[in-house]
Amino acid sequence: MTLRTESDNPASRHIDRLSTSEIVALINAEDASVASSVQAALPQVAQAVDAIVQALSAGGRLFYVGAGTSGRLGVLDAVECVPTFSAPPELVQGIIAGGERALTQAVEGAEDDPLQARRDLQARGVTAADVICGIAASGRTPYVIGALEYARELGAATIAIACNPQSAIGALAAFSISVDPGPEIISGSTRLKAGSTQKMILNMLSTAAMIRLGKVYGNLMVDVKVTNQKLAERANRLLRQITGVDDVEAARLLAEADNEVKIAAVMQIERVDAARARKLLEQADGRLRAVIGDLD
């Protein structure tokens, strides 16, 4: 059976005869279909988010596992959780077939080794408390299959993201997210529409989970980790928006709060010091709304 991601796309059959403007217009037109394809799988995405929230709330971790483009996208999403939500680096982790070298160059044959996936998960100390999310455009990558099989043996929650219907990884996972973005502009080049599909779903999984875990207030990134000047300015702006103080006072509060926006906001609104603000947030499981009320 020919995989949808490997099949011919009639719309681009003569793409090599087109002008540059026509090529990019065609690519854009094909990409426009990705969001509607993902929309059909939103119920499954929501179920997967709930499983992630349940596991992380109980002390578990989320692992993305993939090869090639799929693996790199998983690593990207995991890495971004640290600065965006101040998530500990171990909370969301990306594992790619072939290890770190595979992030910047192809590691031939790595995706075909299911036993290595098992070893890689064992090296991270994966347990039944964790969530394993396998990512494979084809839905049949042996490395990802091996990871999901090992996760099932442990009793860990399992999620599969595939861009072909009735995929092998979907059959293994408790939560199967199967999206059909259709044939690629360049046949089989799954870094294109399939990659965009996976990126969109990964964005939803991590962002929705972090929102549910209280790391967002309104639509504000209040758990931002200040690691550079741009993020320092963002933290100052967020605090001003929440509390109404000016930039000078916001800077003072953030300095006393070790650049933690939520701590600084509680200090200002509840008129307490940093230690007391931290205690109040701990008692509220880090949920700013539970301490200071609504933004509006």
181 to 11, 27, 143, 241: CA distances (angstroms): 14, 13, 23, 40
Query: Can you tell me the distance from the alpha carbon of 156 to that of 142, in angstroms, rounded to the nearest whole number?
Result: 19
What's the token pair of residue 231?
Answer: 């993020």
Q: Where are the alpha helices (DSSP H) in 61-215?
A: 68-85, 114-123, 142-154, 168-172, 193-212
CB 245, CB 253: distance < 8 Å: yes
Distance CA(285)–CA(223), nearest Å, equals: 13
6, 22, 30, 80: the active-site residue: 80
Q: 260 catalytic, yes or no?
A: no
**Cα gap 287→215, rounded to integer Å:** 7
CA–CA dist 285, 290 (Å, integer):
9
* Catalytic residue list contains 111: yes
From 30, 111, 184, 260, active-site residue: 111
Phi, psi of 132, deg, nearest 5? -110, 120
Spatial distance between the Cα atoms of 219 and 96, rounded to a whole number of angstroms: 31
Catalytic residues: 80, 111
